[in-house]
């Protein structure tokens, strides 16, 4: 059994221990005591060194803790351990911040925590709730930061599971003695993780993106030094945008929204103009084309069209009588085909068959279809296959 020193002293940075077992040629060590936190409860493992060798993983094996090293350790059984303190402290802030947040969401809005995840850049909290409004998010953030400012004690105790059950925010399935982490007057949780001594050490707490996950909501959050770095990065990004817009940071949001609305309106106008031009182009080609012996006019797209122009042109061709059309954007090897409704043919099936012969992919509806080919030389092969195919007579 490994004596887990972090249970009673989160702030222990170095320790001495005795190796009780070596495995994997000295790359996996088991100690009589350890301050290394193993991956557990959503919190990643500690890093550091044992006997001067980097610890790259720490694994919880129930009664004992395995320390996975970057290289074999061949030294004596008496070994010195050192924790990567900046990493440890970062996750200490995030984990205690999560307890504070979970207790706040439940106290203010009866939203219990379903799961948590602590990442190297962002942490997430999943709540059992159908939705979370911006106003609720702000209220939780303000309340949690107020509790940070109060510097409430964070106390670790060891208590009987049955005796403490009624006080726990979230029921524990464990029996016997539980490790209890209490934020005074706010939250009581059974937890084996590392935590601060008082809420003031959590530092600033920032809530970020909210997303819907099935019947729950997931919130990104950052605490302490992470929150400061994230706020600085956000401000730098906004400042850069503001400078390019010749505006202040406070003016960025409404200005970007106005430009987005304008761009959307212009895109709509451009789409209509593209469709009009495509219609005129298709009509001119149709009038200049001579029907074949089967009464079908075969139109070939002009080079230089964009993808949007090609799609609009194909749709316009499909609306003309007794017409088959095919064109391409050669830079992307994109091909579009169209067949008018009065012909006994299916554009999607026809183009798909021609594409498959050269290893291309695509398809579409009976009237219009689109796909791509793997090589430049395949473009003309597919265009010819579509245009030279035999078509049934126009419907009477």
Q: For 168-197, what is each residue's pLDDT tens digit?
A: 998 888 899 999 999 999 999 999 999 999
Is 186 in the same domain as 119? yes
Is 184 in the same domain as 94? yes
Is 109 in the same domain as 234? yes
- pLDDT of 381 above 90: yes
Please report the pLDDT score of residue 77 as a whole number: 95
Q: What is the mean pLDDT of residues 71-86?
A: 96
Neighbours of 394 (CB within 10 A): 17
Average pLDDT, the chain: 93
What's the pLDDT tens digit per position in 200-231? Answer: 999 999 999 999 998 999 999 999 999 999 99
Domain boundary among 83, 116, 132: 83
Q: How many domains does the chain divide into?
A: 3
Please report the pLDDT score of residue 232 as a whole number: 94
Please report the pLDDT score of residue 247 as a whole number: 87
- pLDDT of 108 above 60: yes
Is 24 in the same domain as 97? no
- Classify the C-alpha dihedral 259-265-267-269 as positive or negative: negative
Is 29 in the same domain as 125? no
Q: What is the mean pLDDT of residues 371-384?
A: 94
The tokens describing 286, both together, are 């149709």
Residue 231's H or E segment, with its range, is helix 224-244
Is 102 in the same domain as 225? yes
- The answer to the question of residue 199 being in a domain is yes
Q: Give the C-alpha separation, 54 to 237, whole Å.
A: 36
- pLDDT of 376 above 70: yes
- pLDDT of 282 above 60: yes
Q: Give the C-alpha separation, 240 to 238, whole Å.
A: 5
CATH code, domain carrying 204: 3.30.980.10
Please report the pLDDT score of residue 258 as a whole number: 87
CATH code, domain carrying 79: 2.40.30.130
The tokens describing 287, both together, are 């009038």
- The answer to the question of residue 220 being in a domain is yes
- pLDDT of 394 above 60: no
Domain boundary among 60, 83, 106: 83
Is 79 in the same domain as 93? no
Please report the pLDDT score of residue 217 as a whole number: 97
Q: Give the C-alpha separation, 288 to 304, whole Å.
A: 20
Is 341 in the same domain as 214? no
Is 212 in the same domain as 103? yes
Least confident of 91-95, 222-226, 268-272: 268-272
Please report the pLDDT score of residue 242 as a whole number: 87
The tokens describing 67, both together, are 């320390």
CATH code, domain carrying 369: 3.10.310.40
Nearest to 6 by CA among 183, 193, 174: 193
Nearest to 35 by CA among 62, 17, 23: 17
- The answer to the question of residue 264 being in a domain is no
Is 69 in the same domain as 107? no
Please report the pLDDT score of residue 185 as a whole number: 96
Please report the pLDDT score of residue 23 as a whole number: 94
The tokens describing 296, both together, are 């079908």
Residue 269's H or E segment, with its range, is helix 249-288
Is 173 in the same domain as 216? yes
Please report the pLDDT score of residue 392 as a whole number: 66
- Domain residue limits at 72: 3-83
Is 72 in the same domain as 211? no
Please report the pLDDT score of residue 45 as a whole number: 96
């Amino acid at each position: 059994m490994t004596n887990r020193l972090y249970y009673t002293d989160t702030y222990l940075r170095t320790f001495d221990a005795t190796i009780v077992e070596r495995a994997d040629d000295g790359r996996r060590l088991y100690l009589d005591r350890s301050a290394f936190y193993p991956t557990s409860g959503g919190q990643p493992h500690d890093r550091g060194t044992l006997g001067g060798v980097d610890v790259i993983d720490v694994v919880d094996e129930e009664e004992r803790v395995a320390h996975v090293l970057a290289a074999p350790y061949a030294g004596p059984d008496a070994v010195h351990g050192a924790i990567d303190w900046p990493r440890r402290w970062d996750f200490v802030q995030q984990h205690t911040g999560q307890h504070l947040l979970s207790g706040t969401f439940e106290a203010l809005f009866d939203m219990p925590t379903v799961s948590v995840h602590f990442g190297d850049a962002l942490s997430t909290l999943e709540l059992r709730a159908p939705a979370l409004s911006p106003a609720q998010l702000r209220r939780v953030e303000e309340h949690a930061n107020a509790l940070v400012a109060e510097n409430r004690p964070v106390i670790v105790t060891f208590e009987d599971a049955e005796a403490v059950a009624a006080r726990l925010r979230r029921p524990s399935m464990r029996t016997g003695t539980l490790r209890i982490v209490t934020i005074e007057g706010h939250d009581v949780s059974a937890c084996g993780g590392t935590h601060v001594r008082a809420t003031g050490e959590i530092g600033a707490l920032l809530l970020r993106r909210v997303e819907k996950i099935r019947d729950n909501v997931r919130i990104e959050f950052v605490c302490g030094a992470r929150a400061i770095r994230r706020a600085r990065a956000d401000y730098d990004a906004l400042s850069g945008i503001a400078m390019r817009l010749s505006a202040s940071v406070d003016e960025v949001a409404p200005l970007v929204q106005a430009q987005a609305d304008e761009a959307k309106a212009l895109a709509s106008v451009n789409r209509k103009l593209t469709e009009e031009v495509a219609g005129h182009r298709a009509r001119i080609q149709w009038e200049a084309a001579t029907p074949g012996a089967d009464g079908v006019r075969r139109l070939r797209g002009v080079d230089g069209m964009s993808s949007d122009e090609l799609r609009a042109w194909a749709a316009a061709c499909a609306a003309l009588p007794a017409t088959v059309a095919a064109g391409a954007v050669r830079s992307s090897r994109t091909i579009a085909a169209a067949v008018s409704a009065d012909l006994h043919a299916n554009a999607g099936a026809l183009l798909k068959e021609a594409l498959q012969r050269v290893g291309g992919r695509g398809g579409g509806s009976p009237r219009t279809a689109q796909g791509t080919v793997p090589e430049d030389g395949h473009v003309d092969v597919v265009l010819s296959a579509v245009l030279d195919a035999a078509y049934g007579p126009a419907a009477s």
